Chain A
Amino acid sequence: DVKVTQSSRYLVKRTGEKVFLECVQDMDHENMFWYRQDPGLGLRLIYFSYDVKMKEKGDIPEGYSVSREKKERFSLILESASTNQTSMYLCASSLFPDYNEQFFGPGTRLTVL
């Protein structure tokens, strides 16, 4: 069974902290994505990666960075967390060149106090 896992289901951090969200997929997919999900706004793409060490900005990259050192792992980094980054974060992966069917992890609900 295909699987995308995320390191935490729930996370509480303080303003100004550096936050790491980890995502691992076991499907040997080339493409990986980070989204945030907010009520009434749907899913918005933060960053994506189509290969190891490659990354591209999505629609809302400000305040975030990413790292992809290995094919199966894609990390989202909040350099200095702020309260407006409180959200649900979803990781996804897909097989190149099919960007269409993305497989999602269960999400990390991040609260920044």
Chain B
Amino acid sequence: GDSVTQMEGPVTLSEEAFLTINCTYTATGYPSLFWYVQYPGEGLQLLLKATKADDKGSNKGFEATYRKETTSFHLEKGSVQVSDSAVYFCALVKQGAQKLVFGQGTRLTINP
């Protein structure tokens, strides 16, 4: 079945460091891909999305590019802030499907 695999956490970085959180997926057809973020004590929020190959989603300084050849959607940010500390979830949905499939989540902690 369809699945999403994220890099193991937790990830701890210093402020202003470069961030990459890896995400790969397994799915037939052409899924849409998402990154959701969960700040402490809150529900998930959509961070960015991409709906077709080579699309780049971006928001709040984060970017991710839909790479069909490597079935990947890695999340990147050039300079992280303490306020970026959260749990990040990669997810996919297939065309016409009703369900999001989530990865296991990656906890990110940024130290000042």
Tell me if chain B binds chain A: yes
Binding site for B on A (CB under 8 A): 4, 31, 40-45, 48, 50, 56, 58-59, 90, 92, 99-102, 104-107
B36: min CB distance to chain A, Å: 8
Please, which residues of chain B bring their CB within 8 A of the CB of A4?
Answer: 43
Q: A100 near B43 (CB under 8 angstroms)? A: no
Q: B102 near A42 (CB under 8 angstroms)? A: yes
Q: A104 near B105 (CB under 8 angstroms)? A: no
Q: B105 near A42 (CB under 8 angstroms)? A: yes
Q: A42 near B98 (CB under 8 angstroms)? A: no
27 example contacts (A-B, Cβ-Cβ < 8 A) are as follows A4-B43, A31-B98, A42-B89, A42-B103, A42-B104, A42-B105, A43-B44, A43-B102, A44-B102, A45-B99, A58-B99, A90-B43, A90-B44, A92-B43, A92-B44, A99-B93, A99-B97, A99-B98, A99-B100, A100-B34, A100-B100, A101-B46, A101-B49, A104-B44, A104-B45, A107-B42, A107-B43
Q: A48 near B99 (CB under 8 angstroms)? A: yes
3 closest A-B pairs (Cβ-Cβ)? A104-B43, A42-B102, A42-B104
How many of chain B's residues have a CB under 8 angstroms from any CB in A?
20
Residues 33 to 59 of chain B near chain A (Cβ within 8 Å): 34, 41-46, 49
A80 and B93 CA atoms in complex are apart in Å by: 32
Q: B34 near A99 (CB under 8 angstroms)? A: no
Other-chain contact of B100, A41, A102, A106, A107 (Cβ < 8 Å): A102
B55: min CB distance to chain A, Å: 13
Please, which residues of chain A bring their CB within 8 A of the CB of B81?
Answer: none
Please, which residues of chain B bring their CB within 8 A of the CB of A50?
Answer: 98
Q: A99 near B49 (CB under 8 angstroms)? A: no
Q: B104 near A41 (CB under 8 angstroms)? A: yes
